[in-house]
Amino acid sequence: MKVPNETNGVDIKEINPDTCIYSCIPRCEKGISPNNRMESKMQFNGFVKSLDDSISIENACKTREINLESILLKEKHLIERDRISRNLPIQSIFASNYLNSSEPYITKLVLKENFREILNVARLFPGNLTSFLGFECRLGEPDSRTDWAFAISGLNGDRFVFENLLKNGYLPDQLLIQKEWRQIKNFAKSWADSESILNDKVQCFWLEFDMPKDGIDIPIPCIFFGPTKLPIGLNVNDYKNYEWLSKVALPMLRGQPLSKVLEINFRNTIEQMPTNATLFQIGTLLSRSTDSIRIYVNKLRPKQVIPYLNSIGWFDDTGEFTKLINDIKNMADRFVLSFDINEDGIGQKIGIELSFTTKTFQNETRWSKLLDYLVDKDLCLSEKREALQKYQGSEEDFTEINMEPLKAASGNLNKIFTSTIVRYISHVKIVYEPGDILEAKAYPAVRLFEKSDLN
């Protein structure tokens, strides 16, 4: 991984498929979210089930009923700036601001009520905690539910925002009393601790929220995090380089040690990796009733996918998955393999993620071939293909949308108008399970960039 250059308060990185967040990341000292705790269950439930005034403000701004710059008045502007500089809470900007900017372009992919529910959960988190969010859209059904996620970078101060957010009580009590959130809190504390092994081992941290049709009373995320790239000279399939995952990181997130059998199975997935591959991400599905560990392996060549799966105990008896790999091998230049491991071995469900390594973002034009293939195979509705093709774009004139304050969250209040909100397709995933039909998902992303980073 190249050493970032710092320009105008921004780390600029070459696009690198080894990293979880492979673009520029705004540098700043981060604050945390609202300082008024939602202590009553009634208050929390009301928050989750209905949009509050701030969402209405977002919509009013978008329709130009009011200007967003009027929300950050001069006095408040200075207070927020002081809070950021001292790692104190900010109160004006939330992750929902990012997502709300995409609403005009996502309506054919995300149901209206589903989108409102996503915004409600997203408002639990400060906008200066993340600059990278995304949706998980199922492509084969017209009224399917959409999940969402956001990333926390380990490159700058984001991890300290995360620690403070959980440590200082800025989330509702109903979250903090849940054992899953306490486990996440312990991980965040360790990640921010310079003496902890996690401090320089974890590159990024994702929280993914399932959004079921019957709603959620308490949002519990699935967690995925990316190990930093191994130093030159260390072997990717040497388990000693990853023991910290099974001995420290995963037990901390799961709230219990890995069983001996589960650790043996995890070790096997590492030791069988081709030397050109990398362990991209690893996760635990806290929101689901499973003890499985999710593994993502990057940099596999298409021809290596089946042999690698065979080596860890998964076999394509029907040949259907092999045919799929052969069909799509020329439709992307970056492939990520995902699967679950448990005490019985490898889960039957296998995912293959497709994307492109070049830094084109909203200008990427190569998705058409893959999307056409998915439509031809009845894995994607034609209207969702068209919606994805129209989704990509950027916003530079913030006077008409609700994103104007977001640059303030990056710690540079005087350069609000130098930012660009980018909408692009992060990746497409095809899920295969023997005896079941294939499923295709798309991951439209919302990102905040400096304009110079897109040139």
pLDDT at 367 over 80: yes
Nearest to 334, CA basis, from 387, 402, 278:
278
- Residues 396-417: what's their mean pLDDT? 42
Nearest to 159, CA basis, from 191, 121, 136:
191
pLDDT score at 76: 54
pLDDT at 16 over 50: no
Per residue in 27-74, pLDDT (tens digit) is 333 344 444 444 444 444 444 443 333 333 343 333 333 333 333 445
Nearest to 428, CA basis, from 375, 367, 387:
367
pLDDT score at 455: 59
- Specify whether the CB–CB gap between 279 and 213 falls below 8 A: no
CA-to-CA distance for 134 and 209, rounded, in angstroms? 11
Residues in the chain: 455
In order of 32, 84, 384, 408, 435, the CA distances from 158 in angstroms are: 9, 12, 34, 15, 43
Q: C-alpha angle with apex 335: 251 to 1, nearest 5 degrees?
A: 70
* Pair type for strands 10-12 and 25-26: antiparallel
Largest CA distance in the chain: 67
CA-to-CA distance for 245 and 32, rounded, in angstroms? 28
Please, which pLDDT band fits residue 131 given cuts at 50, 70 and 90? confident
pLDDT score at 77: 52
pLDDT score at 452: 57
For the chain, which residues make up each domain, given as ranges? 5-454
**What contacts 155, CB < 8 A, 6 or more positions away?**
4, 11, 21, 25, 203
Q: What are phi and psi of 5, to 5 degrees?
A: -95, 145
Number of neighbours of residue 320 by Cβ within 10 angstroms: 12
**What contacts 321, CB < 8 A, 6 or more positions away?**
306, 350, 432
Q: Is 204 helix (H, G, I), strand (E, B) or coil?
A: strand
First-residue to last-residue Cα distance in the chain: 21
Q: Is the dihedral of CA 286, 288, 291, 292 positive or negative?
A: negative
pLDDT score at 143: 93
Least confident of 140-149, 384-393, 414-423: 414-423
Q: Is 111 helix (H, G, I), strand (E, B) or coil?
A: coil
pLDDT at 117 over 80: yes
- Residues 135-148: what's their mean pLDDT? 97
- Residues 103-119: what's their mean pLDDT? 96
Q: Which residue has the higher pLDDT, 14 or 289?
A: 289
* Pair type for strands 222-227 and 5-7: unpaired
CA-to-CA distance for 37 and 167, rounded, in angstroms? 12
pLDDT score at 127: 76
Per residue in 189-199, pLDDT (tens digit) is 999 999 999 99
Q: Which residue has the higher pLDDT, 443 or 97?
A: 443
Please, which pLDDT band fits residue 84 given cuts at 50, 70 and 90? low
- Specify whether the CB–CB gap between 353 and 432 falls below 8 A: no
Q: What percent of the chain has pLDDT over 90?
A: 60
**What contacts 310, CB < 8 A, 6 or more positions away?**
none
pTM for this entry: 0.81
| HEC assignment per residue over 397-436 | CHHHCCCCCHHHHCCCHHHHHHEEEEEEEEEEEEEECCCC
Which tokens belong to 106?
């996502």
pLDDT score at 70: 39
Please, which pLDDT band fits residue 128 given cuts at 50, 70 and 90? confident
* Pair type for strands 393-395 and 222-227: unpaired
Q: Is the dihedral of CA 22, 26, 27, 33 positive or negative?
A: negative
CA-to-CA distance for 371 and 39, rounded, in angstroms? 46
pLDDT score at 82: 56
CA-to-CA distance for 411 and 409, rounded, in angstroms? 5
pLDDT score at 26: 35
Nearest to 425, CA basis, from 10, 136, 210, 14:
136
Give how far the C-alpha of residue 255 lies from the chain's centroid of Cα atoms, to the nearest Å.
22
Please, which pLDDT band fits residue 91 given cuts at 50, 70 and 90? low
pLDDT score at 6: 36
